[in-house]
Chain A
Amino acid sequence: MKPTKTIILFLFFTLLGCTKDRYSIHYQSVDSKDIKIYPEVISEIPDIPSPALNDSGREVVLAKLQDSLYTWFDATVENGDTFDYKLGLLGKGNQLLADETDFPAFARRGIHSDWELANTKTITGRSVSLITVDGRPGRSSGAGFMAADETILSVIAQDNHTVKNLGLTHPDLARPLFHLWNSARINGSENESIPADERMNISALVYNGHEVAVHITGSRGWQESIFSDEILGTGHIEIRREPDNEEMEFLKQQYEQLTPEQFEGMKEKLTHLHTGEMVLFYINRYGFYEGHTDFRADPVTIAFIFGLRSVKELHEAANGNFYQYFTSHFTFNPE
């Protein structure tokens, strides 16, 4: 084979690989016969991995219902019907859409290129300055989308660095949150026809061998996006996973110098997440987890809670210092 042909073929397959898969994590396939899809329930945790792919390639996750029964949801992350609170349309929305216009490399690989971020001046046609000003606390949102000393690019760049260090992609981190959101959607729509006292709400997801406690609530009105896109938010998503003994031992060893209050504060940041549904779309579309606000979905926290990486790997990705990692704002702009 001539060298030119080889190069062309190499480039073709590289490009094909890049465009086809933005995930670095792949799930095990399971036999669909073993999966009891909601509203069917089972009384014990089955010996089947969750999340997993069923025979049709659909993403299924095991959920715990409030009365200690378990069920599987088809929580596949995909583009679905319109999701627009203003129009009362509650479809899945564009869960796989990535901002290809502003971040072509990110759209292909699921992770930003440093060069691309350093040369970004607009996102969705809005200047990065305008997005930053609108996203500060007390502006388009009371809580803000980033802290007053952060910018849209300082936040995206720092989180991108962390995710890269973890060997993950942004869609890898959006996916467990979408799994939760999609399961809750199905659960919620089924529940509409059931009297309130007979409803079985999701209390936890079983994810990578961990039980992740979840609580989703709505609110009045909606929050507009800081980007020029269709994303809106109204819900509160609370997720928590307690560290197991081994993880706790590791944390105690590594952070014995912290005061009890500092240790508890750090542990809370690592094990608990409060965010809204906008962030799920933001992560997948822009690699944006929000800055240091009450709604930040820290990638390290997501990876810990859903068991995407071990506590040791996360500790290393956070430069060996969770405490500093969780308390420092991202003020360095990529130039």
Chain B
Amino acid sequence: MKHCLTLLLILSLTCSSTDGSAQTQQQEIDSLIVLFKGAHREWNEYARKFILIGEPAVPALVALLEDKSLNQWTRRIAAMTLNDIHSPSYIKTALKVLMDRSEDPTLRNQVTNGLKGHDLSYASEELWTVYNESSEEWFRSNIAHILVTSDTALAYRAYREIYQANDGYLKQQSLLKMVQLRPGESTTWYLKGLQTGDWMTANLAMDSLIATHHIIPEKLVALYNHSETPEEVRWRIVFIMGNRELPESLPLLVNALRDPSWLTYNEAVVGLSRMPADQVLPTMKELLNDSNPLVVKNARWVIKNMKKID
């Protein structure tokens, strides 16, 4: 009997202390909501506190986001804070805002960040419709990102379109997503990326082809040898081959010593100097008798710098 009483006492104390702490937290949320409604540039300070509270703050923030009588700024900062908390209980409201064509376009775009990474396969058709309705490329890219975990086929299709229509960051990110979605197609996409005029995308393709296991060197060699391949693409291929130890690297780099482009033959020289000396030296020594003085000079440079490495 005594034990039962003690247990009851402990339980009741625990419950009251939990209630007390929940009450305190709710009070903190309520006062933060008041501050949030009047917040300007200092909103981030309050947002950080909400993020620390996490899940318990979601209902109050969702209520702010849903309240159309509030100004757009307050609803936007509520959405941004909810995006960071990234709770599944925010999905329903975020989707509602996204699908509501009468909502502020900035707010619709903002809620997409809270939906990324969640399985929304049940809403993929609606998401696809929203994607197709818009001509704003950043918004389309955000919808495509949501589709990655909702419908991979649609996501791939979306990224393919975005890749073709854009340059810079969006193109680069589309390439990255497409090869994540279809690793088997990575070499094909990286080769395309290599040939684009967009520096960010071409750099990503170049770095990826240095690192990937899926490389098909014959395709790179064929592209290098193609008469219409521009200077910078030839340089990129030489850069890749000079940073990989492939059987095709040595002949391609030696060939590139005769490339008319300053970029390309200098890259070949650097690439050759990094390769194992026993493979490269015999060819370089032969090239010392070449009729082209620049080839001779560069072969000499490779020999000299390999000796340094040895």
Contacts and interface: CB of A to CB of B under 8 A. Distances in A.
B215 interface: no
B270 interface: yes
A129 B266 contact: yes
Interface residues of B, number: 16
B110 interface: no
Contacts of A132: 263
Nearest to B293: A335
Nearest to A139: B199
Nearest to B167: A138
| Cβ-closest 8 pairs across A and B | A129-B263, A129-B267, A127-B270, A139-B199, A129-B266, A121-B270, A121-B269, A127-B267
Contact of B266 (A128, A138, A139, A140): A128
B239 interface: yes
A90 to B, nearest CB: 24
B159 interface: no
A333 B267 CA distance: 15
The secondary-structure label for the interface of chain B is helix
22 contacts: A121-B266, A121-B273, A121-B301, A121-B305, A122-B270, A127-B239, A127-B270, A129-B262, A129-B264, A129-B266, A130-B239, A132-B263, A133-B232, A133-B235, A133-B263, A138-B199, A139-B199, A140-B199, A151-B263, A333-B262, A335-B294, A335-B297
Interface in B198-238: 199, 232, 235
Nearest to B168: A138
A65 to B, nearest CB: 32
Is the interface on chain A under 10, 10 to 19, 20 to 34, or 35 or more residues?
10 to 19
Contacts of B294: 335
Interface of A: 119, 121-122, 127-130, 132-133, 138-140, 151, 333, 335
Given A121-B301, A129-B235, A129-B267, 18 more contacts: A119-B301, A121-B266, A121-B273, A122-B270, A127-B239, A127-B270, A128-B266, A129-B239, A129-B262, A129-B264, A129-B270, A132-B263, A133-B235, A138-B199, A139-B199, A140-B199, A335-B294, A335-B297
Contacts of A121: 266, 269-270, 273, 301, 305
Contacts of B301: 119, 121
Contacts of A130: 239, 267
Interface in B255-310: 262-264, 266-267, 269-270, 273, 294, 297, 301, 305
